[in-house]
Amino acid sequence: MSETMQTRREWLLTERPASRLQARLGRAYLTWRRFTANKLAVVGLLIILALCLVAALADVLAPHSPYIGDLANSRLLFPDANHWLGTDGQGRDILSRLIYGSRLTLQVVVLVAIIAAPIGLLVGTVAGYAGGWVDAVLMRITDIFLAFPKLVLALAFVAALGPGIGNAIIAIAITSWPPYARIARAETLTVRNSDYIAAVQLMGASPTRIVLRHIMPLCVSSLIVRVTLDMAGIILTAAGLGFLGLGAQPPLPEWGAMIAAGRLFILDQWWVAAAPGFAILIVSLGFNLLGDGLRDALDPRGGSQ
């Protein structure tokens, strides 16, 4: 058993990989070793995996319905054996609502990431590769969005679009892409004048092809790190919008909106607001730890501080 592990490791770490696949796996293995050397980063990864698992298995895990409570008998119950985290103002089980709420949280971060990251990537790589006035104009626009305080801009957008979780996601995505554009541009500028780009140009590749096939893939890893680090901020902004009544609407079990509902009972039934806030704290902590770990693992130069 351990012997096969040993040979496998040797195969991965060999100086002369026999195939592209072997080389790639070897690099991935090294990155993984650097990542797992950081205990806190592993904790972060476990938290995020747990979040995904809970979201996927919500139907199985939740002991009660997240929407229907017993108004007559089980309003604002203190945590007990039946309701582990107590019940809210409408007699609904808080634990079940938290479990279903994880789906909304995951939905927000995933959708914001897949809307904002490609926009930033496109703007940044095009600006960096084209240069000249295209670069100047695109970066000016980026700076303008960067100059806005994120939450306030998201507030204004949601106010215009109308409250709701879909609009909150759009508003957060609109305010999230500028840093990605900056990063993608910086990466593009470093590879733009390298020999392999000149070689592809000589072979007659169009600028579109160069940007899409030869520049964008190189920006992806630093972008992933940045997006992961931003996830905590995205969750907090979404929760803030939910708290102000502008995000997910009742009866959706969104964590920020749950805190807003629990605010009414904060002085006497504090657990109603405490539980969802704690869930937000844990999940954003997980993303922060994971992001820090990824940064250190993928970029061993700058991560030591």
Partner 1 sequence: MSNTQTRAEAKRESGRASARAAAIARFVVIVVTTYLGLLAVTFFIGRVIPIDPVLAIVGDRAPAHVVERTRIEMGLNLPYYQQFFLYVKGALQGDFGTSVLTTNPVMSDIRRVFPATMELASLGTIIGALFGIPLGVLAAVKRGSIVDQIVRIIGLVGYSVPIFWLGLLGLLVFYARLRWTAGPGRIDVVFEYTFTPITGFYLLDSILHRDWAAFRDIFAHIILPASLLGYFSLAYISRMTRSFMLNELQQEYIVAARAKGLSETRIIWGHALRNAAVPLVTVIALSYANLLEGSVLTETVFAWPGLGLYITNSLQNADMNAVLGGTLVIGSVFIALNLFSDLLYRVLDPRTRIR
Residues that bind partner 1 (CB under 8 A): 140-141, 143-145, 147-153, 155-157, 159-162, 232, 236, 239-240, 243-246, 256, 259, 263, 266-267, 270, 273-274, 276-277, 280-281, 284-285, 287-289, 305
Closest approach of partner 1 to the CB of residue 162, in Å: 7
* Residue 13 vs 159, nearer CB to partner 1: 159
Closest approach of partner 1 to the CB of residue 134, in Å: 16
Q: How far is CA 1 from CA 4, 5, 11, 13, 169, in A?
A: 5, 6, 15, 19, 49
Q: How far is residue 79's CA from residue 86's CA, in Å, rounded to a whole number?
A: 4
* Residue 28 vs 156, nearer CB to partner 1: 156
Extract the tokens encoding 57.
């298995």
Closest approach of partner 1 to the CB of residue 201, in Å: 31
> In 10 A of CB 248, how many CB atoms?
27
Beta bridge partners of 10: none
Closest approach of partner 1 to the CB of residue 175, in Å: 10
Closest approach of partner 1 to the CB of residue 146, in Å: 9
* Residue 12 vs 292, nearer CB to partner 1: 292
Q: How far is residue 276's CA from residue 259's CA, in Å, rounded to a whole number?
A: 6
* Residue 198 vs 282, nearer CB to partner 1: 282
* Residue 216 vs 238, nearer CB to partner 1: 238
* Residue 205 vs 274, nearer CB to partner 1: 274
Closest approach of partner 1 to the CB of residue 290, in Å: 12
* Residue 64 vs 150, nearer CB to partner 1: 150
Closest approach of partner 1 to the CB of residue 77, in Å: 19
Closest approach of partner 1 to the CB of residue 261, in Å: 12
* Residue 189 vs 229, nearer CB to partner 1: 229
* Residue 76 vs 244, nearer CB to partner 1: 244
Closest approach of partner 1 to the CB of residue 204, in Å: 38
Q: How far is residue 105's CA from residue 168's CA, in Å, rounded to a whole number?
A: 12
Residues 6+ apart with CB under 8 A from 58: 99, 100, 102, 103
Q: How far is residue 175's CA from residue 146's CA, in Å, rounded to a whole number?
A: 8
